Amino acid sequence: MLVLGIESSCDECSAAVVEDGKKILSNVIATQIEIHKKYDGVVPEIASRTHTEWVKGVVESAIKESGCTLDDIDGISVTNRPGLIGSLMVGLSYAKGLSASSGIPFVGIDHILAHLYASQLENDIEYPFLGLIVSGGHTVIGKVQDFDNVEVLGTTIDDACGEAYDKVAKHYGLGYPGGVLIDELAQKGDPAAFNFPDASLHKGAHRYDVSYSGLKTAVINQLNQFHNEGYEINNENIAASFQKAAIGMLAKRLFKAASDTGINKVVVGGGVAANSYLRSLLKDKNNLEVYFPSMLLCTDNAAMVAGLGYHYLNREEYSDLTLNAGSRVMQFKNKYP
């Protein structure tokens, strides 16, 4: 079955053709990073307008690059949640229009489940496993029973991990997007230069939960110290110390979840899965079987959307034209905060 995937939840406009949920025939990703760079973050109105201009060309390129024609496509899979509502609406409306005019069925899928699916495009990973989803808007440790069944064990109680990277980078004037830049700087810095704390969680928080708000504030407050005499700002050391705390916090919870559940298989997804320190920490853990997507499949892309959508389309689970876009996660089994 050939599935056309369409992704427009944030600032990447992407389309892909994937065969049987596995074989990537094309994966066109048009990023808006250069457009949003000067604002140090994504401007939603500009993002949706740009998607409107790009989506048709991106979809046509993906079909052309795959070597297929629209007539060969058996189903359309589109991200309809979660994300920026205006951006989501563009991809979803395009998918609906294409489906209505061609008669090809379509399905709306969850972007976070798609991030988790990315590794399945490159490996055959049997369920269940522990999923670690770390992206710009989400941080989740979950027990993954199937492609559409995630039991949330822990999540962030405030900022997402990628969001903390982006905010720290913004305050230090490092540029956008912050994750890659901090990761690069950290490799030249001393992680012991500053002692940033692990999150102390309030009573009632789950034992696998994380929190980035306090860490982010501590790192940003450190900036004020540099205005005092005798201090010299050292971005490499700040980056390395922040990264040690931000990723260390995640790894600690994940290792605890693995030991408590007895599940030693871990699949990582989302933009922060590209992080070099996270990759090395998890790969060094001998008792764990760890899967990371390749770099291109960590951040937003339509191949993961087409891959996941195949499984719904295969069981003839179709959406209809009443489907709406949603800014929140809707599909996890346990209540998502």
Based on CB atoms, which residue is closest to ligand ATP, 49 or 318? Answer: 49
Based on CB atoms, which residue is closest to Mg ion, 2 or 140? Answer: 140
Based on CB atoms, which residue is closest to ligand ATP, 40 or 104? Answer: 40
The minimum distance between CB 135 and Mg ion, in angstroms, equals 5
Based on CB atoms, which residue is closest to ligand ATP, 219 or 272? Answer: 272
The minimum distance between CB 264 and Mg ion, in angstroms, equals 26
Does 8 interact with Mg ion (rule: CB under 5 A)?
A: no
Surface-to-core class of residue 262, CB atoms within 10 Å of its CB (0-12 exposed, 13-18 middle, 19+ buried): exposed
Residue whose token pair is 């689970």: 317
Sign of the CA dihedral running 108, 112, 115, 120: negative
Strands 12-19 and 2-7: antiparallel
E strands, the chain, are 2-7, 12-19, 23-31, 75-81, 106-110, 129-134, 139-146, 149-155, 265-269, 289-291
The minimum distance between CB 231 and ligand ATP, in angstroms, equals 26
* Count of residues in contact with Mg ion, rule CB under 5 A: 2
Q: If contact means CB under 5 to 8 A according to the sort of partner, which of ligand ATP, Mg ion, none does residue 143 touch?
A: none
The minimum distance between CB 169 and ligand ATP, in angstroms, equals 7
Q: Which of 3, 55, 60 is nearest to 30 (CA)?
A: 55
Does 110 interact with Mg ion (rule: CB under 5 A)?
A: no
The minimum distance between CB 72 and ligand ATP, in angstroms, equals 29
The minimum distance between CB 47 and ligand ATP, in angstroms, equals 10
Task: With beta carbons less than 8 A apart as the criterion, state whether 65 and 18 touch.
Answer: no
Torsion of CA 85, 89, 95, 100, to 10 degrees: 130
Based on CB atoms, which residue is closest to ligand ATP, 27 or 299? Answer: 299
The minimum distance between CB 161 and ligand ATP, in angstroms, equals 7
The minimum distance between CB 74 and Mg ion, in angstroms, equals 25
Longest dimension (CA), the chain: 69
Cα–Cα separations (whole angstroms), residue 261 to 268, 269, 282, 284: 17, 20, 17, 20
Does 300 interact with Mg ion (rule: CB under 5 A)?
A: yes
Q: In DSSP terms, which residues pair with 318 in a beta bridge?
A: none
Binding site for ligand ATP (CB under 6 A): 9-10, 83, 111, 115, 135-138, 162, 165-166, 177-180, 183, 270-272, 274-275, 299-300
Give the residue closest to ligand ATP by C-beta. 271
Based on CB atoms, which residue is closest to Mg ion, 135 or 156? Answer: 135
First to last CA, the chain: 36
- Say whether 114 sits in a helix, a strand or coil: helix
Based on CB atoms, which residue is closest to Mg ion, 79 or 99? Answer: 79
Q: In DSSP terms, which residues pair with 26 in a beta bridge?
A: 17
Sign of the CA dihedral running 305, 310, 315, 319: positive
Stretch that binds Mg ion, among 52-60, 153-161, 181-189, 293-301 (CB under 5 A): 293-301
Q: b vs e for 46-72, b when ≥16 Cβ sit within 10 Å of the residue's Cβ?
A: bbbebbbebbeebbeebbeebebeeee
Based on CB atoms, which residue is closest to ligand ATP, 16 or 104? Answer: 16
Does 135 interact with Mg ion (rule: CB under 5 A)?
A: yes
Stretch that binds Mg ion, among 99-107, 143-151, 158-166, 295-303 (CB under 5 A): 295-303
What are the residues binding Mg ion (CB under 5 A)?
Answer: 135, 300
